[in-house]
Amino acid sequence: MLLSFLPSGSRARTLCYALILFASFATSSVLVRDGDKQSLRDRNEFDYIIVGGGLTGLVAAHRLSENLFGMAYDRASAADYDSWEALGNRGWGWKGMFPYFRKSADFTPPKKAVVNKYGYTYDESAYGRFGPLQVTFPDWQVPDQYKMADAFTELGVAHLREHAMGNAVGQFWAPATIDAKTMTRSSSLTAYYDKASWRPNLKMLTEHKVTQLAFKGASTTVSGVKAINRKTNKEVTFRASKEVILAAGSLHTPQILQLSGIGPKCVVEAAGIKSRVDLPGVGSNLQDHPVAYLNWKVTNSFPEPNIMTTNETFAAEALAEYQAHRTGPYTKAQSNTIAFLSLPMVTNNTEDMINSLKQQVASKYLPGVYSRELIAGYEAQRAILAKQLGEGSVSALEFPFGGSGMVPNSVQKPLSRGTVHLNPDDPHGEPIVTYNAFTNPFDRAQLASFIAFTRRYFKTNALADMQPQEVSPGEDAQTEDEIIAKLAAGGPLSLSPSFAHPSSSCPMMPKNKGGCVGADLRVHGTRKLSIIDASILPIIPSAHLQATMYAVAEKASDIIKWRSFWP
């Protein structure tokens, strides 16, 4: 990676070399400093190799070499992260994660005039001040989202002054990943990679696809990676003297492992690959936030939420304002008002729903490939989720609102589980991703209760002058089956298994509970192989994943750096 300075008493200063390889979607040219192309061709051995150039990969590259997500920047509740620790991952609870949330961010409070104009609330102590990622609030909001906030208040949903201190159940303002100086997007590219790309010991190699891991003989010690040049189709092997770090994401990290013979033996051998480590947790436990996109016809005040795409004059004036002053509508990407609601906030039927969940035979609704260990791990997750959902310590529903009549209802704690497996007919093609969304009846019941709540919401006095009329799913759909069928008929723009938050397909849990990595992020049954992306999350948090994954990557980088001194 980049330059690492060791603590006193260890092996004095060491220059660590790192290579970032895009796993499956690299399209641009090699990114190196001027005059360094030859050195990359000559160098085939690095200290660390990071497979994947997304959020966690670029964060780890920056941090290890020291020594694209949306812009929503929100955290889950403390209980969300404590559930990870309860599953056997010491140090991964709220107390262990909070310092890394702060480390990754540089929060700039909005100007007092902006706060007074839009009513922003926040607690500066929840955020860092010297991290790489820039975080602030935009300089524009639409009037109708305040009516929508009042509607939540009318239904008894409290407004939280700050959600990022461990209680994210309620409605709140969420900042965004915006650079307050330029009012442009801050990302893992601008915050981490661009600041580290000059370092001579960090290389990014694109136009290559990682095909499998390389091993030391017949052992399970990983020695590097094999990759194919997309232009020449030539295979090249890169060696890692310390570790290979997978950050290819929840859909491609399992694929790389399975292509390397690490995963469920039946899946690996069905693709014609020799099994090296029979690890059922690889490609299991897939989770996302399945979502129903509901729609009400409303009468909006001016300016309405979609005005930038419907009013050319307004959009042109807004662009001129942004270019001249870095203010106005172009500083805002999406809504900053969100409600994350617990199950008891949404329905009076919580107790019956939880009792029904507890009585389920777990294997009845799980993928057929699930082994005894995977079922045991799922049962441990279910026990935690049943308790948390029942007591309301975590959110069950995400309801982002920005003044329009289109409101997503996203299931935050699904009990259904999916898989990511090699395609036996084309192992190196895209993997077979089976979400299995809503296969567990508890998830169907959750969604039905969310929609019932949303219907009550649009009938509040606060929204009366918006004259809401239900369009989708439509008032004719009343029963759970009718609602699901009506939404499903509308396709993925109406009901989707994914809110673009795929996670948990290589879970951080003990091996005897179906885990893939331990709390040290090392893959069970292997040496010199780690995973640091969203696939390791054992239970998906009730939040957009961006802030969480920056914290995970920062924590992972510290773990990996320290064990290079004390393996």
The helix or strand, by DSSP H or E, that contains position 385, with its residue range, turns out to be: helix 372-391
> Would you say 484 and 438 are in contact if contact means Cβ atoms under 8 Å apart?
yes
Q: Is the pLDDT of residue 36 over 90?
A: no
Q: 507 lies in a domain?
A: yes
Picking from 77, 432, 489, 82, the residue whose alpha carbon sits closest to that of residue 286 is: 432
Q: For residue 12, what pLDDT is reported? A: 30
pLDDT average, residue stretch 443-470: 98
Q: For residue 19, what pLDDT is reported? A: 67
Q: What is the CATH number of the domain that holds 156?
A: 3.30.560.10
Q: 16 lies in a domain?
A: no
Q: Is the pLDDT of residue 110 over 70?
A: yes
> Which residues, listed in sequence order, are joined to residue 240 by a DSSP beta bridge?
46
For residue 276, what pLDDT band results from cuts at 50, 70 and 90?
Answer: very high
Q: For residue 202, what pLDDT is reported? A: 84
Q: Is the pLDDT of residue 548 over 80?
A: yes
Q: For residue 196, what pLDDT is reported? A: 84
CA distances (Å), 494 to each of 114, 437, 479, in order? 35, 14, 17
Average model confidence (pLDDT) across the chain: 90
Question: Is 552 part of any known ligand binding site?
Answer: no
Q: 79 lies in a domain?
A: yes
Give the integer Cα–Cα distance in Å for 556 and 531.
9
Q: Is the pLDDT of residue 64 over 80?
A: no
Give the integer Cα–Cα distance in Å for 551 and 97.
7
Q: 206 lies in a domain?
A: no
Q: 28 lies in a domain?
A: no
Q: Is the pLDDT of residue 255 over 70?
A: yes
Picking from 189, 207, 193, the residue whose alpha carbon sits closest to that of residue 37 is: 207
pTM confidence score: 0.90
Q: 31 lies in a domain?
A: no
Q: Is the pLDDT of residue 104 over 60?
A: yes
For residue 197, what pLDDT band results from cuts at 50, 70 and 90?
Answer: confident
For residue 53, what pLDDT band results from cuts at 50, 70 and 90?
Answer: low
Question: Which member of 163, 289, 421, 501 is catalytic?
Answer: 501
Range of the domain at 352: 45-199+284-565
Give the integer Cα–Cα distance in Å for 528 and 520.
12
Give the integer Cα–Cα distance in Å for 4 and 60.
12
Q: Is the pLDDT of residue 404 over 70?
A: yes
Q: 235 lies in a domain?
A: no
Tokens of 357: 């969940």
Q: For residue 55, what pLDDT is reported? A: 52
Give the integer Cα–Cα distance in Å for 386 and 138.
37
- Specify the number of domains making up the chain: 1
Tell me the residue length of the chain.
567
Give the integer Cα–Cα distance in Å for 303 and 145.
11
pLDDT, tens digit (0-9, with 9 covering 90-100), for 498-520: 999 999 999 999 999 999 999 99
C-alpha neighbours within 13 Å on the C-beta side of residue 85: 13
Q: 29 lies in a domain?
A: no
Q: Is the pLDDT of residue 13 over 70?
A: no
26-35, 59-68, 414-423: which has the minimum mean pLDDT? Answer: 26-35
pLDDT average, residue stretch 41-67: 56
Q: For residue 294, what pLDDT is reported? A: 98
Radius of gyration of the chain measured on its C-alpha atoms: 24
Q: For residue 167, what pLDDT is reported? A: 98
> Would you say 443 and 417 are in contact if contact means Cβ atoms under 8 Å apart?
no
Question: Which member of 163, 421, 524, 544 is catalytic?
Answer: 544
Tokens of 423: 């395609």
CA distances (Å), 125 to each of 20, 51, 105, 301, 549, in order? 34, 34, 12, 35, 20
Q: For residue 239, what pLDDT is reported? A: 94
Identify whether 501 is a catalytic site residue: yes
Identify whether 544 is a catalytic site residue: yes
Residue 349's Cβ-count burial label (10 Å; 0-12, 13-18, 19+) is: middle
